[in-house]
C-alpha cells in the first residue's frame, strides 16, 4: 500500500478527490484503508490500477489474489484454455460411455 500512499500524496487535493471518484470510492475511504489496511475489494484494486495508469498495481494492493492467472487469461489464452477444457470434458464423456 506504500505505492498507493505515494501516488495519492503526489496528487493535488482536487485530483485526489477525482481519482477516488473515478475508482468508485472516496478519498476518505482510501485514506482510512491506508491506515487500517483492510483487504480492498478486487474490483476496487482493478479500478485503482486502471486510474493510476498502472502506477499502483493490483498485486501490491491484494497479494493474496492470483492476479497472474487473471492476467494470463486474455482473449487468446482464455480461448485456448476453454478449448482444452472442452477437449478434456469430451474425452471424459467418451471414456465414461465406454466404461458403461
Task: Name the residue among 46, 96, 52 with its Cα closest to residue 71.
Answer: 46
Mean pLDDT of 48-56: 97
Neighbour-count burial of 24, counting CB atoms closer than 10 A to its CB (0-12 exposed, 13-18 middle, 19+ buried)? middle
Q: What are phi and psi of 39, to 5 degrees?
A: -75, 115
Is pLDDT above 60 for 75?
no
pLDDT digits (tens, 9 = 90+) for 8-50: 999 999 999 999 999 999 999 999 999 998 899 999 999 999 9
Level-2 CATH architecture, domain 1-65: Orthogonal Bundle (1.10)
Amino acid at each position: 500500500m506504500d505505492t498507493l500512499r505515494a501516488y495519492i500524496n503526489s496528487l493535488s487535493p482536487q485530483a485526489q478527490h477525482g481519482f477516488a471518484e473515478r475508482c468508485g470510492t472516496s478519498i476518505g475511504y482510501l485514506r482510512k484503508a491506508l491506515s487500517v489496511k483492510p483487504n480492498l475489494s478486487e474490483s476496487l484494486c482493478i479500478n485503482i490500477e486502471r486510474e493510476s495508469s498502472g502506477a499502483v498495481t493490483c498485486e501490491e494492493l491484494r497479494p493474496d489474489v492470483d492476479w497472474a492467472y487473471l492476467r494470463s487469461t486474455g482473449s487468446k489464452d482464455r480461448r485456448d484454455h476453454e478449448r482444452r477444457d472442452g477437449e478434456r470434458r469430451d474425452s471424459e464423456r467418451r471414456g465414461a460411455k465406454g466404461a458403461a
